[in-house]
Amino acid sequence: ETAVFQTPNYHVTQVGNEVSFNCKQTLGHDTMYWYKQDSKKLLKIMFSYNNKQLIVNETVPRRFSPQSSDKAHLNLRIKSVEPEDSAVYLCASSSENTLYFGAGTRLSVL
Amino acid sequence: QQQVRQSPQSLTVWEGETAILNCSYEDSTFNYFPWYQQFPGEGPALLISIRSVSDKKEDGRFTIFFNKREKKLSLHITDSQPGDSATYFCAASENYNQGKLIFGQGTKLSIKP
């Protein structure tokens, strides 16, 4: 099966903790992304990686950092979570003109 | 500042009717407009797309109408089915640039059987 896989599905944590989300794609794509989807379902790009090179880095807080070991993996680390980080984090990869999304990781910060 | 706007925020139609979802944009350099469909608990998936050189794109029951002069487009879903109930996102970018896709805020569509 070829797709975009994210773990965990859900994560509940407290303010100030560090969290890490994993993403793997088996589609053979060169570019991967992290999007944040807020409670109103608004989708905003956070990062994109092409062959391990960061090519888009929107103005996200510095506590967020993408981590990639190869072009099939792009993880997301949040160093010290804050309440406003509660959201669904969607990983995606792309071919020429299509984004393929994973099912997302829902983060709740208490 | 929302560069891509969608309306209505939510829409309910009866099974078999045509659902019309609207989208407008601001940046005249946008020339690629995909629509993504998202079911609860899943990520969005590409449904249909159009380039600005066309004014209409059809794929089965889904049709995009595009008005470049007014910077507006709409997604028509004919013969709506309960399985079409989902959130639909209009997006825009320049030259297929997935890294620069700007998404609208979505329209939540409910189809009543």
Residues of B in contact with A66 (CB under 8 A): none
Average confidence (pLDDT) over B21-38: 96
Average confidence (pLDDT) over A13-33: 95
Cβ neighbours of residue A23 closer than 8 Å, sequence gap 6 or more: A4, A5, A6, A32, A34, A73, A74, A75, A76, A91, A102
pLDDT of residue A99: 92
Choose from B46, B47, B98 for mutation: most chain A CBs within 10 A. B98
According to DSSP, residue B32 is labeled: E
| Interface touch A96/B42, C-beta < 8 Å | no
Residue A23 has pLDDT above 80, yes or no: yes
pLDDT in tens, A62-105: 999 999 888 899 999 999 999 999 999 999 999 877 899 999 99
pLDDT of residue B1: 58
Structure tokens at A21: 């989300």
Question: Which of A40, A43, A55 lies closest to B99 in CB terms?
Answer: A55
Residues of B in contact with A44 (CB under 8 A): 103
Please give the full DSSP string across A33-94, using - where no structure is assigned. Answer: EEEEE-TT--EEEEEEEETTEEEEE-S--TTEEEEEEETTEEEEEESS--GGG-EEEEEEEE
pLDDT in tens, B7-26: 999 999 999 999 999 999 99
For residue A101, the distance in angstroms to the closest alpha carbon of chain B comes to 5
Choose from A9, A23, A47, A97 for mutation: most chain B CBs within 10 A. A97
pLDDT of residue B43: 96
Select from B69, B44, B48 the least CA-distant residue to B58: B48
Mean pLDDT (chain A, rounded) = 92
Residue B62 has pLDDT above 70, yes or no: yes
